[in-house]
A and B are shown apart, each in its own frame.
Chain A
Amino acid sequence: MPKTNASQQNKDERQLILIVEDEFVSREILKMSIEREYDVLLAENGKQALEHIGASGDQLSLILLDLNLPDMHGVDILNMINEKEEIHRIPVIVLTADKEAEVECLDIGAADFIPKPYPDIKIIQARIRHTIELFEKRVIIGQTEFDELTGLYNREFFYLYAERSDAHNRENLMDAIVIDINHFHMINERYGRDFSDEVLKRIGNRLRDLTSETGGLACRRDADQFMLYCPHLDDYEKVLGMLSEGISGEGNAENTVRLRMGVYPEADKSIDIERRFDRAKLAADSVKSNYTMPIGEYDNELNEKNLYREQLIVDFPEALEQEQFKVYYQPKFDIRGEKPVLCSAEALVRWIHPEYGFINPGAFISTFESSGLINRLDNYVWRAAAKQIREWSDRLGAVVPVSVSVNVSRVDLFDPDICNTLKGIVEEYGISQEQILLEITESAYSEDSKHIIDTVHRLRSEGFRVEMDDFGTGYSSLNMLTSLPIDALKLDMQFIRTAFTEGGDTGMIAIVIEIAEMLGVPVIAEGVETEEQLNALKEMGCDIAQGYYFSKPVPAEEFEKFLADR
């Protein structure tokens, strides 16, 4: 295992050797004899030697050390190197004209010695080569530079060697590449650990084959991710094809493992190596659900998108404080009777950004979900909605008992305080639990469902009503559905869209409506845009509808006209 990695490393990396020798002639001969193969640093005295070790210690592969220096004894330098954790891995070959000193040096930790006058240059070169190899192996054994399963470098050492390689080859154009396995956890679950380990091993072997051909380094980054740092490639599809060989099932769709790749071509060496791979990762994530184009390239556009997202996160606290988030209301109508009757509204957040203007939630909700900010935003919306209900009730009187549904994200449900928070809001604005409907997306139930279901049970026992949002997009089993604590099913907009396009089929909607009937809960259809859709839904027995056919989401003032009409 270590062998292949050693060769992997030698391909593109000139090792760095420090020569510490005060005598000009001896220094020059040594330098001349190794500089073809290695990069060389020179020190004329102990002070310079220590400076070099301090500045480049992590890149040094070897130190050639004369013992008789004008300002200190080489033995002291040797001792210092042996004692310092960060550098004691650097082998030292002592240069000495004294037979006696040779043994002494080996005793105190020198790896080898070169006598003076120097022996044949070839002997010097061989001793240097052997020493470096030996110590690299020693480090390998002692510090597990490698991922046990694949034999590739682990992340830390990968970055270390990539940096070293850069230090030696500033001009080379290098690609930073991240390789990801799609739905690895599913593969793991479906085919078992042995199978997925085999997949990882095969990818590891392919990467090794690749780097032995092209040069460069590879590592296993995470469970199902690999990184490749190699001289610029032209044909990434070919590389992906090669990596997928033997794991893609060869036409047998049953065990198809699909890889995706993020490439940061000709990565900018002026930025940190880890950031370069962050960019490659970003590119890999940009093709996450794109099966036809499994290779993403990092470019400025992607960078800008990412920067935009980062900016939104940075801007969030101020936006919250300055109330840049506006809550809009989209009316929901009861369509069971002859004429649709307003029954409630869905609160939807919009961001009026001072620089970017009107931002749709699609652009920031998922960002806030992954960064954990969603909790604060949802809280803000809940309060705003409660406050609005209070205001409408006060102003328009008891004739309009309005209820508003709000979104509760999966992240919120992990907040142990969520029940108290919602109860607190309801009490603070003097409204009832029935007036705040909670929309929880179906997919939230499928992840850690027990915890989620328990929380939803608690919310319902406190008097809140829960609507299952985006129904049909998650993966609830029919069996699970019957035990779910819900008060309404909300059909995903996509169902309506697909069902009513040419060649579409309303069969699925009918099934969902039947399920709702069986559960004894109403069905809410969102995304209703035409009269035709409305009539069809009515006929199938849908209870409530919302969508552009009735109204787009509007500011609170505009929504009042619906209340007044009622």
Chain B
Amino acid sequence: MITIEKLNEYGADTKDGLARCLGMEEFYLKLVNTMIADENFGKLDAAIEDGDVKKAFEAAHALKGTLGNLSITPLLDPVVEMTERFRHAEEMVDVSDILPQYKDALERFRALAE
């Protein structure tokens, strides 16, 4: 189960995220929980694999918004970086340098729920 402590350990800026939720822990954690299964992670992976930069941008952009609102910083940082690289690209751009950081952060994030 995800807790504030776990998130803090993970590196999320829970203070900032909670402030957006008027300090309501339960509400904040509920939203964080929904992110575990957020379909945009899968979409992003698939788009990168398919070399579809447009779809990759859409998924990364969506994640940027939500992760940002919840202040899940370890994941947000690589997602923001990817979003900016995809933004004006006509063709798929190389993100291989960011992917390990992103995958690691995602894995650790999902592990929080266990």
Contacts and interface: CB of A to CB of B under 8 A. Distances in A.
A29 B35 CA distance: 13
A549 interface: no
A286 B70 CA distance: 63
Nearest to B62: A23
Interface string B22-51: 101001000100110000000000000000
A23 B34 CA distance: 11
Interface of B: 19-22, 24, 27, 31, 34-35, 58, 61-62, 64-66, 68-71
A219 B66 CA distance: 46
Interface stretch (A116-124, A171-179, A515-523): A116-124
A32 B69 contact: no
A25 interface: yes
B70 A25 contact: yes
14 contacts: A23-B62, A25-B31, A25-B35, A25-B66, A25-B70, A26-B69, A28-B27, A28-B31, A33-B22, A97-B61, A117-B20, A117-B71, A120-B19, A121-B19
Nearest to A117: B68
Contacts of B71: 117
A121 to B, nearest CB: 6
Contact of B21 (A22, A23, A29): A29
Contacts of A120: 19
Contacts of B31: 24-25, 28-29
A121 B61 CA distance: 22
A68 interface: yes
Contacts of A26: 65-66, 69
Interface string A78-117: 0000000000000000000110000000000000000011
Given A25-B70, A32-B21, A97 B27 contact: no
A32 B61 contact: no
Contacts of A117: 20, 65, 68-69, 71
B67 to A, nearest CB: 8
Given A25-B31, A28-B31, A121 B22 contact: yes
Count class of interface residues, chain A: 10 to 19
Given A33-B22, A121-B19, A25 B58 contact: no
A39 to B, nearest CB: 18
Contact of B22 (A24, A32, A116): A32
Contacts of B19: 120-121
Contacts of A97: 61, 64-65, 68
A97 B62 CA distance: 9
B41 to A, nearest CB: 13
B112 to A, nearest CB: 16
B66 A118 contact: no
Pick the most buried of B22, B64, B69: most chain A CB atoms within 10 A of its CB: B69
Contact of B20 (A23, A24, A121): A121
Top 4 nearest A-B pairs (CB, nearest first) are A117-B68, A25-B66, A116-B65, A97-B65
A118 B70 CA distance: 9
A112 B64 CA distance: 21
Contacts of B22: 32-33, 121
A116 B64 CA distance: 8
B9 to A, nearest CB: 21
A97 B34 CA distance: 20
A33 B22 CA distance: 7
Contact of B27 (A22, A32, A116, A121): A32
A248 to B, nearest CB: 52
Contact of A25 (B24, B61, B69): B69
A404 to B, nearest CB: 86
B27 A23 contact: no
A116 B68 contact: yes
B62 A29 contact: no
Contacts of A28: 27, 31
A68 B34 contact: no
A406 to B, nearest CB: 81
B20 A29 contact: yes
Interface string A284-322: 000000000000000000000000000000000000000
Given A32-B24, A117-B71, 4 more contacts: A23-B66, A25-B31, A29-B20, A118-B69
A320 B37 CA distance: 78
A118 B20 contact: yes
A436 to B, nearest CB: 86
Pick the most buried of B21, B22, B27, B65: most chain A CB atoms within 10 A of its CB: B65
Contacts of B20: 29, 33, 117-118, 121
Contacts of A98: 61
A29 B71 CA distance: 13
B62 A68 contact: yes
Nearest to B34: A24
A522 B35 CA distance: 101
Contacts of A22: 62
Contacts of B66: 23-26
A68 B61 contact: yes
B85 to A, nearest CB: 14
A33 B69 CA distance: 13
A70 B114 CA distance: 31
Pick the most buried of B31, B34, B71: most chain A CB atoms within 10 A of its CB: B31
Given A29-B20, A121-B19, A68 B58 contact: yes
A520 B101 CA distance: 117
Nearest to B32: A25
A282 B65 CA distance: 58
A116 B71 CA distance: 11
A98 B87 CA distance: 10
A373 to B, nearest CB: 65
Pick the most buried of B62, B64, B71: most chain A CB atoms within 10 A of its CB: B62
